[in-house]
Homo-oligomer: A and B are copies of this chain.
Amino acid sequence: MQTIQILAYGKLKEKYLRDAAAEYEKRLSRYCTFKCTEFEPIKLSENASEKEIAAALEKEGQQLLKRMKGYVIAMCIEGKLIDSVALSEKIQSVGLSGDSTVTFIIGSSYGLSDGVKRRADLKLSMSPMTFPHQLARVMLYEQIYRSYQIQTGSKYHK
């Protein structure tokens, strides 16, 4: 079974988002070993300097680099816009390779370090619009679930 690993900064605070995530996790368990690791974002003051932000991102990046495995997809707004079928094909092609793990990364509200972006095999954007990280996580779970539905030819994606 393919492993899908989510590395995410911040917790799902709203109950409705935790419930949504739990629903997709349950559905996904039929298709893959799905696990999400939540990291505590480094706290910065509201007036943090560019340098302080860069240092925090670098530190968060070190944490992420230790945990990444397999094919790494970094979620970032400047990433590639692809459709659900293309994402499904990508996940399927990794599933057929040696290390079939896919790691998705959702950074903190300041984004991701350059090191993480360089290491990523794919920089992916779901939208040119900005969404809250918590909602983006649910959107991503839905897309991963949809990916498997596309692979199995179900009616979910028509």
Q: How many Å lie between the Cα of A82 and that of B127 in the bound state?
A: 9
B residues less than 8 Å from A138 (CB atoms): 135
Sort A-B residue pairs by CB-CB distance and give the 3 closest, nearest first: A16-B19, A16-B16, A127-B127
Least CB separation from A126: chain B residue: B127
Give the copy number: 2
- The listed residue (B16, B46, B109) touching A17 by CB distance below 8 A is B16
B residues less than 8 Å from A130 (CB atoms): 83-84, 146, 157
Interface flag for A2 (CB, 8 Å): no
Interface flag for A99 (CB, 8 Å): no
| Contact yes or no, B14 A82, CB < 8 A | no
B residues less than 8 Å from A82 (CB atoms): 128-129
Per-position contact with B for A128-158: 1 when CB-CB < 8 Å, else 0?
1111100100110011001000000001011
